[in-house]
């Protein structure tokens, strides 16, 4: 059975600063040597703390990764949600969403490549992080398609089924580009074109 992930700590919790240091320590090790080569000893060394402190916060390296993934994904979601001007023309809204997402991904390519792949491999309850991310982007693009500028341009509301196809395809494209060391800019052009065809006016 997969071990339960750590219980989220509030900002006021005494454990919150330690949790943050450990997450940063894991992220640093992933950038330096990759997740597979990372041991708990690497994480605590980077965090300048002890294994005892680590296990007070997390049941395992995988549990620490799940919390890091949740934080990382929230950063991407926030970037997309805050950069789209709902009063802009419909096509510019799509461009802004893609540009914001890719800019956030490009700021930390090691995490952007490692986290989605490892969560899928871990499976079980760790896939909840992945599911939460998919749910957000599906809901985001469905809501975006229902905005006033979209409606005035003749855009039909995006269905749940089409949103799943859209998000799943975009996610797979980004993962493949990162693994191959390809151009995010080139991927962005393809993402924008595909999204406009799927979301755009009929």
**What is the residue-averaged pLDDT of the chain?**
88
Mean pLDDT of 64-79: 92
Nearest to residue 173, comparing CAs of 189, 160, 196, 159?
189
φ, ψ at 149 (rounded to 5°)? -70, -35
pLDDT in tens, 165-181: 999 999 889 888 888 88
**pTM: predicted TM-score of the whole model, two decimal places:** 0.81
Residue 171: what pLDDT?
A: 87
Q: Is the pLDDT of residue 156 over 80?
A: yes
Query: Is the model more confident about 119 or about 12?
Result: 119
pLDDT in tens, 181-199: 888 888 999 999 999 999 9
Tokens 């003749």 -> residue: 154
Instruction: Please give the Cα distance from 188 to 173 (Å, whole number).
Output: 10
Asked if residue 73 lies in contact with residue 16, where contact means CB atoms within 8 angstroms, the answer is no
Residue 29: what pLDDT?
A: 97
Residue 13: pLDDT band with limits 50, 70, 90: low
pLDDT in tens, 76-135: 999 999 999 999 999 999 999 999 999 999 899 889 888 888 877 777 766 787 788 889
Residue 7: what pLDDT?
A: 46
* Ranges 11-20, 60-69, 76-85, 149-158: which has the least confidence: 11-20
Residue 166: what pLDDT?
A: 94
Domains, in order of start, for the chain: 9-58 (1.10.10), 62-199 (1.10.357)
Residue 27: what pLDDT?
A: 97
Instruction: Please give the Cα distance from 95 to 24 (Å, whole number).
Output: 31
DSSP codes joined into one string, 52-109: HHHHHH-SSHHHHHHHHHHHHHHHHHHHHHHH--TTS-HHHHHHHHHHHHHHHHHH-H
Residue 2: what pLDDT?
A: 37
Residue 133: what pLDDT?
A: 87
């Amino acid at each position: 059975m997969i071990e339960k992930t750590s219980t989220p700590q509030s900002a006021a919790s005494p454990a919150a600063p330690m949790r943050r240091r450990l997450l940063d320590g894991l992220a640093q090790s992933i950038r330096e040597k990759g997740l597979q080569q990372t041991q708990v000893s690497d994480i605590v060394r980077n965090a300048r703390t002890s294994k005892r402190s680590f296990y007070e916060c997390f049941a395992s390296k995988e549990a620490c990764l799940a919390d890091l993934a949740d934080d990382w994904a929230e950063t991407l979601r926030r970037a997309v949600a805050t950069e789209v001007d709902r009063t802009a023309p419909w096509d510019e809204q799509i461009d802004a969403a893609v540009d914001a997402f890719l800019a956030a991904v490009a700021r930390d390519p090691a995490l952007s490549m490692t986290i989605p792949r490892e969560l899928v491999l871990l499976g079980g309850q760790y896939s909840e992080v992945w599911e939460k991310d998919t749910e957000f982007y599906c809901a985001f693009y469905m809501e975006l398609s229902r905005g006033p500028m979209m409606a005035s341009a003749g855009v039909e509301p995006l269905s749940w089924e089409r949103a799943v196809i859209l998000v799943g395809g975009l996610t797979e494209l980004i993962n493949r580009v990162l693994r191959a060391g390809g151009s995010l800019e080139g991927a962005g052009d393809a993402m924008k074109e595909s999204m406009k065809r799927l979301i755009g006016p009929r």
